[in-house]
Amino acid sequence: MTDVQLLDKTELWVRGVTVRDADLPSLARAMALALSLPADKIFVTDVGAEHVCFDVLLPSLKLEDFTGKQAQILELFRHIPGITVAADAAIHSEGILGLIGAPSDQVSTILSEAVRMETAVKDYSAKRVAVVSTGAELVDGRVHDTNYEAVAEILGAAGYEVKHAGTVSDDLQAIAGRVSRISGEGFGLIITTGGVGAEAKDKTIEALTLLDPDIATAPLAHFQVGHGRHVKNAIRIGIAQVGYSRVVALPGPTHEVRLALPILRDGLNTGGDNAEVNNAQLIERIAVALRAVLPQSTHQHSSAHGFVRSTDPGQAGA
């Protein structure tokens, strides 16, 4: 199944269609049915003398769900009372949705080529890594970013092309926006460092959850909310899937990043004894190693600081 970005070209024009006292929601439902869309993700935006305009409320669609579907859509329209479809009616779009009108004898070729290109993109991006470091102290230059250097050293030695994608403040939208943009630039792996703690300023996991509600997380230590500056019940690392990119959220301290990277590298390998693991398994493997090096004071609950070391693997993905 090949997902394609609509790139804001979400409008469809159906020319050669006359509407007289027809139920417009029925038109939208027919279009949604043909395109395998939920009924509330497409609606009629304009009706003219011989045309109807639609808008799709999704940023991407599966190519096979709309390529060559023109004849099916027009036939559904013909069964709606009040709709007249001319013999030369056609569906147009300024973007990729224009493939709705692809000739039926070309559909299989188009889809095969799309799969080939998708595979090529994945192969190209698989060994490309972008590093994003978060924190005001990095943005304003008070602290030197050694995490990028660690990633470049360890993953670079494993054959990855590592690029620095800059620093970003501890802001929910800023982090989500930066990761979203980078994910469209051909990076199979994005590593964020920092912002995974239990304080109000820590926003990385929340930002990635905006991009992937199914993000896999693993706790490093649990806290009692309300003790000190803790507004969350745990320090949490995670792995999200954003488009073709696997996004790994690691802590800020460089010694922890260095500890996590070999585990991440091995988990990303395919074939043999190092077959690729899923996100929940991989982030838990990293968490186990990081829990082992947390300060001794986190091993048990502290009435002064309100934290307790997490040792329960079953909490991964929470």
- Helical packing angle, 24-34 and 70-78, nearest 10°: 150
- Dihedral over Cα of 202, 242, 148, 298: its sign: positive
**Sequence-ordered list of residues with C-beta below 8 angstroms from that of 213, at least 6 positions apart, any chain:** none
Instruction: Quote the domain boundaries for residue 51.
Output: 3-119
- The Cα–Cα gap between 68 and 15 comes to 16
Tell me what pLDDT residue 1 has: 58
Q: Which residue has the tokens 């934290």?
A: 307
- Statement to judge: residues 273 and 205 lie in one domain: yes
**pTM to 2 decimals?**
0.64
- Statement to judge: residues 89 and 173 lie in one domain: no
Q: Report residue 310's pLDDT band, with 50, 70 and 90 as the boundaries.
A: very low
Final residue of a structural domain among 75, 102, 119: 119
> How many C-alpha atoms does 256 have within 13 Å on its Cβ side?
20
- Statement to judge: residues 214 and 80 lie in one domain: no
- Statement to judge: residues 197 and 267 lie in one domain: yes
- Statement to judge: residues 29 and 86 lie in one domain: yes
Is it the case that residue 304 has pLDDT exceeding 50? no
The structural domain count of the chain equals: 2
- Statement to judge: residues 9 and 61 lie in one domain: yes
CATH code, 256: 3.40.980.10
Could you report the per-residue pLDDT of 186-213, keeping only the tens digit for each? Answer: 899 999 999 998 888 899 999 999 999 9
- Statement to judge: residues 161 and 306 lie in one domain: yes
Q: 304 by DSSP, 3-state: which?
A: coil
Could you report the per-residue pLDDT of 65-81, keeping only the tens digit for each? Answer: 999 999 999 999 999 99
